[in-house]
Amino acid sequence: MAEPHVETTVHADHEHKPHGWRRWVFATNHKDIGTMYLILACLMFFIGGSAAMVIRAELFKPGMQLVDPGMFNSLTTLHGLIMIFGAIMPAWVGLANWMIPLQIGAPDMALPRLNNLSFWILPFAFTLLIGTLFVPGSAPAGGWTMYPPLTLQFGSSFPMLIFAIHLMGVSSILGAINVIVTIMNLRAPGMTLLRMPLFVWTWLITAFLLIAVMPVLAGAVTMMLTDHFFGTSFFNAAGGGDPVMFQHIFWFFGHPEVYIMILPAFGVISEIIPTFSRKPLFGYEAMVYATASIAFLSFIVWAHHMFTVGLPVTAQLFFMFSTMLIAVPTGVKVFNWVATMWKGSLSFEPPMLFAVAFLFLFSIGGFSGLMLALVPADYQYHGTYFVVAHFHYVLVTGAAFAIMGAVYYWLPKWSGRMYNMALAKWHFWLSTIFVNVLFFPQHFLGLAGMPRRIPDYAVQFTDWNMVSSIGGFAFGLSQLLLPYIVWQCVRAGKPVEGNRAWDGAHGLEWELPSPPPFHSWTVPPSDALIARGAEH
Amino acid sequence: MSTMNRARLGILGGTLALLAAAAGAPAARAQSGWSLINMPRGVTDVSAKIYGLHMMAFWVCVGIAVVVFGVMIWSLIFHRRSRGAVADVTLVHNTRVEIVWTTIPVLILIAMAVPAANVLVRINNNANAKLDIRVTGFQWGWQYDYVGSGVSFVSKLDYRSDAARELDSGIDPDTVPHYLLNVDHPLVVPTGTKIRLLVTSVDVIHSWWLPDFGVKRDAIPGYINEVSFTVDPNRPGVYRGQCTELCGRDHAYMPVVVRAVSPADFAAWLKQQQALQKQGVDLSAQTPAPSG
């Protein structure tokens, strides 16, 4: 059969691409906007990471050596808010922007100007958030969970915090709308839903979660705002209100939020493993249904963050059972990834290294999650470093490793160049070794009795804290390799031959040139091309 | 030896080297931190049940990990292209295996959920307590009231810890007895007696946690949370815990210290406190902590 005609670089020479600062400020191109999101995410990762470095430095030994306890609490709060809302979420939106149109055969996102707004809200939001460090009373210090009444004790930073949260929420909601409309309306003819790559599926489902829960967060923080400034008593017991109601509303957002952060990771792993196993993804439909099940279940587990507040026993039982249930579709996904590798022909380029590390280490996070689900045991785990260990395993070795794997996977497509693979493997091994040195001992600390969100501790916790801090410094330092590798690749990496950077890669994005033209799929891909890309 | 396995040995060696380096760091302390890696079984009926559940869950997870990681490691070794493996592209889906690896986890979860639900219901039975104590969290300490006895006092961070914890205090925490885990007036309770705590707060949310008792309950303004326990009569002693809900600047500095004594000793102590109060002594007044 004749090679179908695909967009070539001949057209690129005649493209009318905006130039200078206008190209970026007024960007409506999904590739440019995707790049901006990724750069923002990288910057926020290092800012949030710097806060973590100070935290681990203070926790290196007992006694206070560096910061005032109030500042420590502010750094903990900012670390959480920046990593969640500034690093992980924008990184996923950046990857969605870059890859969804390419993978479904669409010329761009459905709402390009809305896309621009969604991005440009964020630098303002984060300037506001980080700016709280410099106002009287300094940054908010109630944890990223912002529980009242504590959060209401912080002065000038409080309205800035609330406004920043609102801005981030609007950005996410608008971005999610864009993703859904794009996927539902702009798929090329022949790209049926059950032919879409898993990354597109997981983002479709994630977008619904975002629209469902970001408004709930907005409601919760607005009620806190009116409690503080307009005399309402939603969360003020003296006025007849209920501090625990905030927790219910917050976690109704908060639990789907963590699935928002991990579902796209599941999508990325489902792209990478088949490529480097040279085998199609095992159980494609099961994977779609498992993702949808996880998303549905994520709405009915929220109170597992609240097992010690004094819920009725019946409620504790319900949430224990629903939380344990989520392990089932998640396990199904892990088994399907392993089955994809099974009897494959495996090679271990950097994307695959990160994907395999994800499988091992995210699973460890899953195991501690299962333990946390058991309410009586959680009475001992809650509020300790055991929880900190759990969520860092699923968010760092889970979401963050998947993001890094995605960058190493698709960077040759975006830039048309291959990065320094030896250096990338150094980045991988240093990250993997030291992330475990950093977080594994935190399981011990939590079980042995160390609470979380404390700047100083009893002397029997010194040894493992020291190990954890050493791991933290080494992990943090080794992350500097990533932007260097990307920068070096984009500037002077060896050009990739042909469209397919990886011999086992399938999908419409690999049918385009590397880099793809500024406007790609201006002519939709043929059904033959889609079939070749789908391969399942 | 393959690159992968060489690398794994390298990880192990590197980690051990790091641990050795850290262990060589100054200050030998009485209780080695390295051995503190697990939840204590504790000294109450509650803590023992929780510990049993925790260890069961842990071993189930280890078992699942051995199986799943075992399959993964096998595949990583034997299905590599560099070893000449050729991909079997017909292995794409299998409905039967999907059902099997959905059903088996459900069965494992049910097997875990039954004992967990059992323990949950039993430890939340607060009826028939012999002694009620109101625990009130505040920024930054605990107030204890022995309901019906008139005895009431504030328990705050011991003055020696408080001095050492300041930034650039010049005091080595290793020289402070029970650094950050010592108070001026510990809670005193009788062993072998079902005790019910009534936990609340007057400002922000705190959480009262004593790991050795298996007791943690949030102290929330506007709420009175009940939690109960019985200390093993064979285990009198001093037990230490901390506030476990971020409550502001000094969240790390409001420890929970309980002295468990025989019922006879408790009755004598309570009588003595009542007498002191009658004489007009302020039970919350700062005195050097008796328990070390």
Give the pLDDT score at B25. 41
Per CB-CB distance under 8 Å, the chain A contacts of B173 are 62-63, 459
User: Quick one: pLDDT band at residue B11, thresholds 50, 70, 90?
Assistant: low
Domains and CATH numbers, chain B: 45-83+95-123 (no CATH), 131-281 (2.60.40.420)
* Pairwise CA distance, residues A372 & A379, whole Å: 9
CA distance B183 to A97: 56
Predicted model pTM? 0.93
Q: Which of A463, A464, A469, A478 to mutate to test the interface with B (most CBs of B within 10 A)?
A: A463
Q: Which band of pLDDT confidence, cut at 50, 70 and 90, is reported for residue A155?
A: confident
Nearest chain A Cα to B89, which residue? A279
When computed from its CA atoms, the radius of gyration of chain A, rounded to whole angstroms, is 23
Q: B235-268 burial by CB neighbour count: b if 16+ within 10 A, else e?
A: ebebbbbbbbbbbbbbbbbbbbbbbbbeeeebee
Cβ-defined contact of B71 to A342 (cutoff 8 Å): yes
A515 preceded by a cis bond (ω within 30 of 0): yes
Q: How far apart are CA A41 and CA B50, in angstroms?
A: 41
Confidence grade of residue B285 (pLDDT, cut at 50, 70, 90): confident
Helix, strand, coil share of chain A (percent; to 5): 75, 0, 25
Least confident of A33-42, A386-395, B276-285: B276-285
d(CA B204, CA B217): 14
Chain A residues with beta carbon closer than 8 angstroms to that of B45? none
User: Which of A308, A353, A384 to mutate to probe the B interface, most B CBs <10 Å?
Assistant: A308
Q: What confidence category does residue A84 fall into, taking pLDDT thresholds of 50, 70 and 90?
A: very high
Edge to edge, what strands does the sheet with B151-155 contain? B151-155, B141-146, B131-138, B194-201, B225-230
Average pLDDT of span A146-174: 95
Residue B1 confidence (pLDDT) above 80: no
pLDDT value, residue A16: 72
Contact list in A for residue B97 (CB cut-off 8 A) is 339
Q: Under 8 Å CB-to-CB from B280, ≥6 apart: which residues?
A: none
- Phi first, then psi: give them for residue A239, nearest 5 degrees: -95, 10
Instruction: Mean pLDDT check: name the lowest of A94-103, A239-248, B26-35.
Output: B26-35
Average pLDDT across chain A, whole number: 95
Distance, CA of A51 to CA of A54 (rounded, Å): 5
- Is the confidence at residue A9, as pLDDT, over 50? no
Q: Using an 8 Å Cβ cutoff, are B214 and B47 in contact?
A: yes
What is the distance in angstroms between the Cα of A503 and the nearest Cα belonging to chain B? 12
Neighbouring residues of B65: CB distance < 8 A, sequence distance ≥ 6:
A363, A364, A367
Does the pLDDT of residue A431 top 90, yes or no?
yes
Residue A483: cis peptide before it, omega within 30 degrees of 0: no
Q: How far is B139 from chain A (nearest CA, A)?
A: 10
User: What is residue A3's predicted lDDT score, i.e. its pLDDT?
Assistant: 45
Long-range contacts of A317-323 (CB under 8 A, 24+ apart): A317/A375, A317/B117, A317/B120, A317/B121, A319/A375, A320/A373, A320/A374, A320/A375, A320/B113, A320/B116, A320/B117, A320/B120, A321/B113, A322/A297, A323/A373
Percentage of chain A exceeding pLDDT 70: 97
Q: How confident is the model at residue B23 (pLDDT cuts 50, 70, 90)?
A: very low
Work out whether the CA dihedral B271, B273, B274, B275 comes out positive or negative.
positive
Query: CA-to-CA distance for B47 and B41, rounded, in angstroms?
Result: 6
Rg of chain B taking only CA atoms, in angstroms: 26
Per-residue pLDDT tens for A89-130?
999 999 999 999 999 999 999 999 999 999 999 999 999 999
pLDDT at position A417: 97
**What is the biggest distance separating any 2 CA atoms in chain B, rounded to whole angstroms?**
89
Least confident of A179-183, A378-382, B27-31: B27-31
A507, A89 Cβ separation under 8 angstroms:
no
- B35-50 pLDDT, tens digit per residue, is 999 999 999 999 999 9
- Strand-pair partners of B194: B230
How many CA atoms, within 13 angstroms, populate the side-chain half-sphere of residue A167?
Answer: 19
- State the catalytic residues of A: 79, 108, 144, 171-172, 255, 257, 259, 270, 304-305, 330, 333, 452
Let me know: does A190 contact A276? Beta carbons within 8 Å.
no
The pLDDT value given to residue B287: 62
With an 8 Å Cβ cutoff, are A449 and B241 in contact?
A: yes
From B29, B179, B218, residue closest to A309, measured CB to CB: B218
Contact A383 B166 (CB under 8 A): no
Q: How confident is the model at residue B8 (pLDDT cuts 50, 70, 90)?
A: low
CA separation for the pair A451, B104 (Å, rounded): 35
| pLDDT of B57 | 98
- Sort out which chain A residues have CB atoms less than 8 A from B94's CB and list them: 282-283
Distance from the Cα of A178 to chain B's closest Cα (Å) equals 32
Nearest to A278 by CA among B161, B81, B16, B38: B81
The SS3 assignment for B31 reads: coil
Residue B114 has pLDDT above 50, yes or no: yes
Distance CA A401, CA A428 (A): 9
Q: Specify the pLDDT at position A533.
A: 73
Predicted local confidence at residue A532, as pLDDT? 83
**Percent of all residues in chain A with a pLDDT value above 90, rounded to a whole number:** 94
pLDDT at B2: 56
Q: Where are the alpha helices (DSSP H) in B79-94?
A: none
Pairwise CA distance, residues B168 & A13, whole Å: 64
Which residues share a beta bridge with B153?
Answer: B144
What average pLDDT does the segment A357-385 reach?
98
Residue among B88, B207, B222 minimizing CB distance to A243: B222
Interface predicted TM-score (ipTM) over 0.85: yes
Q: What per-residue confidence (pLDDT) applies to A535?
A: 55
pLDDT at B7: 52
Candidates A346, A469, A473, partner chain B, best to mutate (most B CBs within 10 A): A346
Which positions in chain A touch B256 (Cβ < 8 Å)? none
How many angstroms separate the CA atoms of B215 and B258, rounded? Answer: 12
What digits encode the pLDDT tens for the residues A210-232? 999 999 999 999 999 999 999 99
What is the pLDDT averaged over residues B224-229? Answer: 98
Mean pLDDT of chain B: 90
Judge contact between B93 and A283, C-beta under 8 A: yes
Residue A324 has pLDDT above 90, yes or no: yes
Does the distance separating the beta carbons of B31 and A447 come in below 8 Å? no
Q: Which of B52, B42, B64 is nearest to B216 (CA)?
A: B42
